[in-house]
């Protein structure tokens, strides 16, 4: 569809014609802005949201410390962005699909993913749903309608358009929300996804967490436009910018987005303005590219404190409950971490099973070679790996030790 209005002078338009407002409800002290109205929110759901925010923060702090202690190889924190992620999840039906980037563990916490389930993934043990094949933080849950994370940026965005198109065809009244950073929005996949969603009118919510940085690159060096929101006009899509540290505003914004998506089969873009308070990941040190002063200014806008003030003012929460919750969560995170650390890794053979319907000869050969290597150099593998050879004896008894038959130091008492 194109417009037909004619003009007779070369009058160019620029993006400066648009000024995109930011939707806010809560002030930092927990009071509402003048004229603002809190969305309908029962006490139970308000506390479910707050508890999920605190549970995410506590897990993030503890797991980052575990990474520094050398217990965990890698970690990424959601710290500072809990309101954006959990406020959005809380606006959905629990059976709507969530496709996340990697910093949205809060949405999983909100849906009921347990600390045990997080820890099993982080340590890649035998109970990890991904069977230890992915690095830490690549969570996923079929039961909770949360697509497994994949590292290549923005791949989830066109997948969300496709998934939501399926939901439209199924006509089951569900939608998909897809989270991504403002950095990922620079990928071509973002544009393809928005265009196809608008053309095919699918129920998908594109939720951009504009946290100011793509690792060390500030958003000001990423795009010349006024954030990501104006791009929606290019695809003729509904768009709303929201204060991402204001959980009530995010909740109200996403509820309305869901209504448009599901009732009108139209995609919506939300840009949540927030800040990544922690490092990009455990491999990053932000002191090289941003100031402590900037971080402190955002720490003063902590989304947890903002919601807590609102809850306390309504008599729905108090300091004793806060203390008890923090203590319980800290204890739980430690207990579940210890349990997950002790569990053995998945069986080695699971590396190649269920990749294809049947194990292909090429994969079988690779597995056989890996086993041979483990038997030759057991000391080069983690302790658990040496016991990961359940069928070696059976296969050798059959006279089949693979192409690279070697002596077996493990079975000769090398352990
Ligand atoms: C295709 C691709 N390119 C580059 C990377 C490396 N990378 C990982 S995270 C990241 C920054 C993403 O920033 P943003 O989307 O803003 O998310 P944030 O980390 O701020 O939450 C980059 C460049 C990648 N994972 N995939
Ligand atoms: Mg970012």
What pLDDT is attached to residue 389? Answer: 53
Closest Cα to atom 25, ligand 1: which residue?
152
Please, what are the averages of pLDDT over each run of 10 residues along the chain (415 residues)? 88 86 98 97 98 98 98 97 98 98 98 98 96 96 98 98 98 97 98 98 98 98 96 97 98 98 98 98 98 98 98 98 98 98 91 93 96 89 62 43 34 30
- Which ligand 1 atom is at minimum distance from the Cα of 153? 26
What pLDDT is attached to residue 398? Answer: 44
The rounded Å distance from CA 215 to ligand 2 centre is 7
Dist CA 76 CA 57 (whole Å): 11
- At 84 the three-state DSSP class reads helix
Q: Please, which residues have CB within 8 angstroms of residue 339's CB and are 6 or more apart in sequence?
A: 116, 119
Q: Compute φ and ψ for 169, nearest 5 degrees.
A: -65, -40
- At 322 the three-state DSSP class reads helix
- At 209 the three-state DSSP class reads strand
Cβ of 184 less than 6 Å from ligand 1: yes
Cβ of 253 less than 6 Å from ligand 1: no
Instruction: Match domain 18-342 to its CATH number in 3.30.56.10, 3.20.20.70, 1.10.3720.10, 3.40.50.970.
Output: 3.40.50.970
The rounded Å distance from CA 414 to ligand 2 centre is 49
Q: Which two tokens stand for residue 387?
A: 């016991």
The rounded Å distance from CA 152 to ligand 1 centre is 8
- In whole angstroms, how large is the CA radius of gyration of the chain? 25
Q: Which two tokens stand for residue 304?
A: 């947890």
- At 200 the three-state DSSP class reads helix
What pLDDT is attached to residue 388? Answer: 57
Cβ of 82 less than 6 Å from ligand 1: no
What pLDDT is attached to residue 378? Answer: 84
Which of 149, 183, 275 to probe ligand 1 with, by most ligand atoms within 8 A of CB? 183
Closest Cα to atom 18, ligand 1: which residue?
181
- Which ligand 1 atom is at minimum distance from the Cα of 209? 21
Cβ of 227 less than 6 Å from ligand 1: no
Q: Please, which residues have CB within 8 angstroms of residue 288's CB and are 6 or more apart in sequence?
A: 216
Q: What is the DSSP string of 224-262?
A: SSSSSTTHHHHTT-EEEEEETT-HHHHHHHHHHHHHHHH
The rounded Å distance from CA 221 to ligand 2 centre is 12
Q: At which residue do the structure tokens 């793509």 appear?
A: 214
The rounded Å distance from CA 253 to ligand 2 centre is 20
Q: Compute φ and ψ for 104, nearest 5 degrees.
A: -115, 35
The rounded Å distance from CA 101 to ligand 1 centre is 9
What pLDDT is attached to residue 390? Answer: 52
Closest Cα to atom 3, ligand 1: which residue?
153
- Name the residue ranges covered by the structural domains of the chain: 18-342, 348-414
- Which ligand 1 atom is at minimum distance from the Cα of 81? 21
Dist CA 164 CA 355 (whole Å): 25
- Which ligand 1 atom is at minimum distance from the Cα of 214? 13
Closest Cα to atom 11, ligand 1: which residue?
214
What pLDDT is attached to residue 17? Answer: 81
Classify residue 351 by its DSSP letter: G
Q: Do 289 and 216 contact (CB within 8 A), yes or no?
A: yes
What pLDDT is attached to residue 103? Answer: 98
Q: Which two tokens stand for residue 132?
A: 């230890």
Q: Please, which residues have CB within 8 angstroms of residue 175's CB and are 6 or more apart in sequence?
A: 92, 96, 97, 164, 167, 203, 204, 205, 258, 261, 262
Reference 104, options 61, 142, 137; nearest CA is 137
The rounded Å distance from CA 185 to ligand 2 centre is 9
Dist CA 129 CA 93 (whole Å): 23
């Amino acid at each position: 569809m194109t417009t037909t209005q004619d003009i007779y002078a070369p009058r160019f338009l620029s993006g400066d014609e648009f000024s995109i407002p930011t939707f806010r409800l809560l002030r930092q002290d927990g009071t509402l802005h003048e004229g603002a109205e809190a969305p309908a929110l029962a006490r139970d759901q308000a506390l479910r949201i707050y508890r999920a925010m605190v549970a995410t923060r506590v897990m993030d702090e503890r797991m980052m410390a575990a990474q520094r202690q050398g217990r965990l190889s890698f970690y990424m924190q959601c710290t500072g962005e809990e309101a954006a992620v959990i406020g959005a999840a809380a606006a959905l039906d629990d059976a709507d699909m969530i496709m996340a980037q990697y910093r949205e563990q809060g949405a999983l916490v909100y849906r009921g993913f347990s600390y045990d389930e997080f820890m099993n993934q982080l340590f890649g043990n035998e109970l990890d749903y991904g069977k230890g094949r992915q690095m830490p933080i690549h969570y996923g849950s079929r039961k909770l309608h949360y697509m497994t994370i994949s590292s290549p940026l923005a791949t989830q965005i066109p997948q969300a358009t496709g998934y939501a198109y399926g939901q439209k065809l199924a006509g089951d009244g569900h939608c998909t929300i897809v989270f991504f950073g403002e950095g990922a929005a620079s990928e071509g996949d973002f544009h393809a996804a928005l265009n196809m969603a608008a053309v095919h009118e699918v129920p998908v919510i594109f939720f951009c967490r504009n946290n100011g940085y793509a690792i060390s690159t500030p958003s000001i060096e990423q795009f010349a436009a006024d954030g990501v929101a104006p791009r929606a006009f290019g695809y003729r899509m509904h768009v709303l910018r929201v204060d991402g540290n204001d959980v009530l505003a995010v909740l109200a914004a996403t509820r309305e987005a869901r209504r448009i998506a599901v009732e009108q089969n139209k995609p919506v873009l939300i840009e949540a303005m927030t800040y990544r308070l922690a490092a990009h990941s455990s491999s990053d040190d932000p002191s090289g590219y941003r100031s402590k002063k900037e971080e402190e200014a955002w720490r003063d806008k902590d989304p947890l404190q903002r919601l807590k003030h609102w809850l306390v003012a309504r008599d729905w929460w108090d300091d004793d409950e806060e203390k008890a919750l923090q203590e319980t969560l800290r204890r739980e995170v430690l207990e579940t971490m210890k349990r997950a650390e002790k569990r053995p890794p998945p069986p080695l053979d699971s590396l190649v099973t269920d990749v294809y319907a049947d194990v292909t000869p090429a994969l079988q050969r690779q597995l056989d070679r890996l086993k041979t290597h483990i038997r030759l150099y057991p000391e080069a593998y983690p302790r658990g790996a040496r016991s990961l050879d359940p069928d070696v004896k059976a296969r050798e008894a059959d006279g089949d030790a693979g192409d690279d038959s070697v002596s077996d130091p493990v079975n000769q008492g090398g352990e």
